């Protein structure tokens, strides 16, 4: 029951009309020759501009993710993808985006930077999206261009029910973004497998979490090639450095090592949950499908200050979910230190 979606109608007019910057590497992209076209210093080992479309890297990622290269965009972190989506689709001072709160803070920051109005609907008591009239009506808003669904959600840790994502896809003609930064820690298939069915679906993943490369700043967006080419049109030409492209390629060859780390992290997650459960001060641990957990404690501010003083840094989320802290699963040693420090506090 795929509905008719006109992507072009969703795009800001100035972006549709934009003639993108044509770099030296756009005009000639062969690997061999005498390169006197980009004003580079001819000496040195990082002297050449990188491939603006990261062809080799995208080739390898496409194999792992079972997609085609033209359905894939790479950004300077997912955060660049979020910003580009606003720049492509929301007219400043006019259009809107929708998020389900509490959620990842960058959607709101990007909306504010791009002067888009942010509509927010609260998740229910289980941190799920309520499928109701309010949601349905909100999705009919004529200026609403982007809906962000974070699954597993940050900071709550849970997957968003598939029925809710399907409902949004079925009732909205703008761009539906599913942010899957933590999907590798979850026991659920990626929405990438549904891209063929939904021309307005965009799935974000990242090398920052499961792949352990947050320092490199490489994020992925999977979507229909028309949306991907719009992101390519607006991005800075050389947004992923050669060094980073090479480093990610190298790690991709090490996929089995990363998978072992995943097994260890998931086991440690169980250990941390069980140790926290035994503590008096922990009132509730929310179910998690990610590499972190949200816990409600007696007094989040007090606990946070105490832990910082003991050089154990967690995230105080009291301002978004009352008396809740978000704890990332670390190495066995780090988790042990956390638990021992908490026991001392009690
Ligand atoms: C960490 C995180 C990201 C990743 O952002 P990068 O810019 O790729 O590091 C994206 N979305 C959510 C919800 C996150 O928590």
Q: Assign 247 a pLDDT band (cuts: 50, 70, 90).
A: very high
Q: According to the model, what pLDDT value does residue 120 have?
A: 98
Report how far ligand 1's centroid is from the alpha carbon of 308 (Å).
Answer: 24
pLDDT one-digit tens code per residue, 142-192: 999 999 999 999 999 999 999 999 999 999 999 999 999 999 999 999 999
Look at residue 1 in the predicted model and tell me its pLDDT.
44
Residue 278 DSSP code:
T
The position carrying tokens 């719009």 is 230
pTM > 0.85: yes
Residue ranges of domains in the chain: 7-252, 256-345
Q: What is the CATH number of domain 7-252?
A: 3.40.640.10
User: Tell me, what's the pLDDT at 209?
Assistant: 98
Q: H helices then E strands: how many in the chain?
A: 13, 11
Between the CA of 182 and the centroid of ligand 1 the distance, in Å, is 8
Distance (angstroms) between ligand 1 centre and the Cα of 48 equals 29
SS3 content of the chain, % helix, strand, coil (to 5): 40, 15, 45
Per DSSP, helices labelled H in 101-160 are 106-113, 133-139
The CATH topology of domain 256-345 is 3.90.1150
Q: Ligand 1 pocket by C-beta < 6 Å: which residues?
A: 77-79, 104, 150, 154, 179, 181, 206, 208-209, 214, 219
Supply the residue whose CA is at minimum distance from atom 3 of ligand 1: 181
Residues 31-86 have pLDDT tens digits of 889 999 999 999 999 999 999 999 999 999 999 999 999 999 999 999 999 999 99
Residue 152 Cα to ligand 1 middle (Å) = 11
CA 150 to ligand 1: nearest atom: 13
Closest of 331, 264, 338, 275 to residue 303, by C-alpha = 338
Same fold, 7-252 and 256-345: no
Calculate what percentage of the chain has a pLDDT beyond 90: 95
Q: What is the pLDDT of residue 3?
A: 64
């Amino acid at each position: 029951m795929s509905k008719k979606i006109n992507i072009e109608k969703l795009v800001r007019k100035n972006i549709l009309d934009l003639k993108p910057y044509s770099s030296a590497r756009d005009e000639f992209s062969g690997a061999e020759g005498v390169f006197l076209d980009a004003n580079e210093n001819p000496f040195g080992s990082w002297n050449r501009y990188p491939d603006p479309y990261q062809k080799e890297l995208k080739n390898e990622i496409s194999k792992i993710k079972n997609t085609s290269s033209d359905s894939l965009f790479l950004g300077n972190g997912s955060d660049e993808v979020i910003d580009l989506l606003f720049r492509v689709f929301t007219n400043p001072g006019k259009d809107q985006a929708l998020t389900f709160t509490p959620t990842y803070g960058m959607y709101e920051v990007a909306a504010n930077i791009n002067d888009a109005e942010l509509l927010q609907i609260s998740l229910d008591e289980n941190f799920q999206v309520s499928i109701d009239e309010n949601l349905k009506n909100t999705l009919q808003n004529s200026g609403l261009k982007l809906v962000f669904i974070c699954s597993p959600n940050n900071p709550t840790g849970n997957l968003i029910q598939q029925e809710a994502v399907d409902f949004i896809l079925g009732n909205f003609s703008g761009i539906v973004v599913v942010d899957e930064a933590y999907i590798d820690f979850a026991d659920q298939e990626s929405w990438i497998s549904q891209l063929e069915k939904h021309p307005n679906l965009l799935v974000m993943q990242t090398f920052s979490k499961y792949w352990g490369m947050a320092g490199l700043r490489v994020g992925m967006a999977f979507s229909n090639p028309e949306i991907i080419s719009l992101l390519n049109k607006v991005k800075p030409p050389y947004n992923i450095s050669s060094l980073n492209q090479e480093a990610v390629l190298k790690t991709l060859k090490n996929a089995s090592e990363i998978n072992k780390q995943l097994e260890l992290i998931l086991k440690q997650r169980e250990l941390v949950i069980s140790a926290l459960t035994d503590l008096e001060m922990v009132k509730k641990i929310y179910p998690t499908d990610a590499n972190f957990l949200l816990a409600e404690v007696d007094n989040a501010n007090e606990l946070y200050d105490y832990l910082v003083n003991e050089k154990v840094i967690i995230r105080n989320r009291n301002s978004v979910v009352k008396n809740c802290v978000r704890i990332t699963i670390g190495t066995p040693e780090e988790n042990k230190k956390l638990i021992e420090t908490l026991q001392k506090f009690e």
